[in-house]
Amino acid sequence: MSGESKNPEKKNPTTSSGIEMKRVYTQGPTGMGESLGEPGEFPFTRGIQRDMYRGRLWTMRQYAGMGDAVESNRRYKFLLEHGTRGLSVAFDLPTQIGYDSDDAMSLGEVGKVGVAIDSIEDMQRLFDGIALENISTSMTINATAPILLALYVAVAKRNGAEAKKLSGTVQNDILKEYIARGTYIYPMRHAMRLVTDLFAWAQSEVPEWNTISISGYHMREAGCTAVQEVAFTLADGITYVKAAMEAGLRVDEFAPRISFFFNAHNNFLEEVAKFRAARRMWAGIMRERFGAKLERSCMLRFHTQTAGSSLTAQQPENNIVRTTLQALAAVMGGTQSLHTNGFDEALALPTEEAARIALRTQQILAHESGVAQTVDPMGGSYCIEALTDEIEQRAKAYLQTIDAMGGMLRAIEAGYVQREIQNAAYEYQRAVDSREQIVVGVNEFVSDAGAQVKLQRVNAELEQQQVERVRALRARRDAAVHAAAVARVEETARGGGNMMPVILAAVEASATVGEIAGAMRRVFGEYQESLVV
């Protein structure tokens, strides 16, 4: 996450023409801008830090994970060597929904869309040779988030790192899984217990860790609008804060570790305004609804990823331009960290070349474009301020509707949120089909000629190798210690204690992700999605 400048009085940077760039512009030629306030001050419309990128650039992350832990470790080291400042782990589908690689449910899916992690040994291999105290790690994991965070902490401890010094983010946002993404396991009530158990445990055990990344990204990928992304993401946030407080946590104890995850889509001006509106709205929600006293409790800190759904298989080189514009919108909007997609991701997992170009895109924005020289460079624009106000008003109308329904859980159960997203997705596709919405290279400016793209291929033998690893682990671990640890997970799930300590003990006893998730399945059951029409 971006930090405060240690030397705010340093000399102002200049443009190529020698024009001095002020830290922030508060008044234009017409006087507009005086009412916007200062960056770093409530309600943070202009950014959560006084100096923003003049003090420290956003964290440049590249989301990666493929095949097994050994192959993914190699990609992480490649990215670190090329200037990535934070790792972002993509897990395969079985890991996300709590099945081991040798489970019949995992057949054909092991390592396909991310890295397969079954045990503490896999997590050890994933970060081999990487000092966990010196990097920030983001893990895109939800239903099994408590297990994967426990694995990460266990490996750090094995390697001699101090858990209290670990920094990073675990997504841990289960609500959007029921809305848009689908990698849920347990019924919502039980899943929410795991979310708040992680909040409470991390507060003392890994205090520098962001315990949730409330995600609008996947709802946007499913087809929602920018206004819906703001509204539904903040509605999820309200639900998590309520649940944590009902579990006995004080708002100013856990709220400073809440973070968000947004999409950066194609409409540049709307996206910049979207980030500013979300920041201002969350500040008001935390202070007015929940009585937060600390300024950090009211700050909307967010990671951004460029829009995967905007990438096209046709003329894939065009995706470099799309990603650049989206990344620029995120930076202009004040993101704390950023992932840029590879241009080939509509076709396969990104190659090293595509990942390098994506990272270089961020580095060029940071070091060559000049946009980091001043805070909130688009603040005071008539267009941006009008869009910011309009997005806020429309998002608030959605929140009022959700409140009237009894909150986000009721709205999800009723299928309201899902229907709104489905309708928006339908309208967009209708506009593309009728050519009201132009997608370059798809429904206009079409060409048979295009770059010959070399695709990343996951080694088909990795699945069998991973299956053999997990079976070998089971054969050599201490069976009695393992069985007792898994039994404690099931026992605690039936009772009312915090799940995190027993999950940590289980992974340290070499219990697998599937075994721990399975113990909770036996108690909680599984969520059954109802048809939304």
17 vs 417: CA distance, rounded Å: 50
Q: What confidence score (pLDDT) does residue 61 get?
A: 87
Q: pLDDT value at position 26?
A: 77
Spatial contact of 506 and 516, defined as CB atoms under 8 Å apart: yes
Alpha helices in 368-478 (DSSP H): 382-404, 408-413, 416-433, 461-476
What pLDDT is stored for residue 369 in this prediction?
A: 97
Q: Which residues pair with 339 in a beta bridge?
A: 61, 305
- Asked if the peptide bond before residue 43 counts as cis, ω within 30 degrees of 0, the response is yes
How many angstroms separate the first and last alpha carbons of the chain? 40
Cβ count within 10 A of residue 88: 24
**Residue ranges per domain, the chain?**
34-433
**Phi-psi label, residue 37: left if phi above 0, alpha if psi -120 to 50, beta otherwise:** left
Q: How would you label 433-443 residue by residue, b for 16+ Cβ within 10 Å and e otherwise?
A: eeeeeebebeb
d(CA 260, CA 273): 16
Task: Provide the b/e sequence for 478-498 (b: ≥16 CB within 10 Å).
Answer: eeeebeebbebbbebbeeeeb
Find the angle CA(228)-CA(231)-CA(237) to the nearest 5 degrees.
135
Per residue, what are the HEC states of 224-256?
Answer: CCHHHHHHHHHHHHHHHHHHHHHCCCCHHHHHH
pLDDT at 30: 45
Contact 86, 60 (CB under 8 A): yes
What confidence score (pLDDT) does residue 461 get? 86
Residue 494 φ/ψ, nearest 5 degrees: -75, -25
SS3 60: strand
Residue pair 90/79 in contact (Cβ under 8 Å)? The answer is no
Q: From the first residue on, what is the mean pLDDT of each consecutive set of 10 residues in the chain (533 residues)?
A: 48 80 70 72 96 95 85 91 87 98 96 95 97 92 98 96 95 97 96 97 95 97 97 98 96 96 96 97 98 98 97 96 98 97 92 93 97 95 93 97 98 96 96 96 86 74 94 97 98 96 98 98 93 56
Q: In what order do the strands lie in the sheet with 167-170?
A: 209-210, 167-170, 136-140, 86-90, 59-64, 337-339, 302-306, 258-264, 212-215
Exposure string for 92-129, b = 16+ CB within 10 A, e = fewer: bbbbbbbbbbbbeebeebbbbebbbbbbbbbbbbbbee
What is the C-alpha separation between 388 and 278, in angstroms, rounded?
9
Q: Which residue has the tokens 């979207």?
A: 274
Report the CATH fold assignment for 34-433: TIM Barrel (3.20.20)
Residue 451: the pLDDT is 60
| Cα Dmax for the chain | 75
- C-alpha–C-alpha distance, residues 255 and 313, integer Å: 40
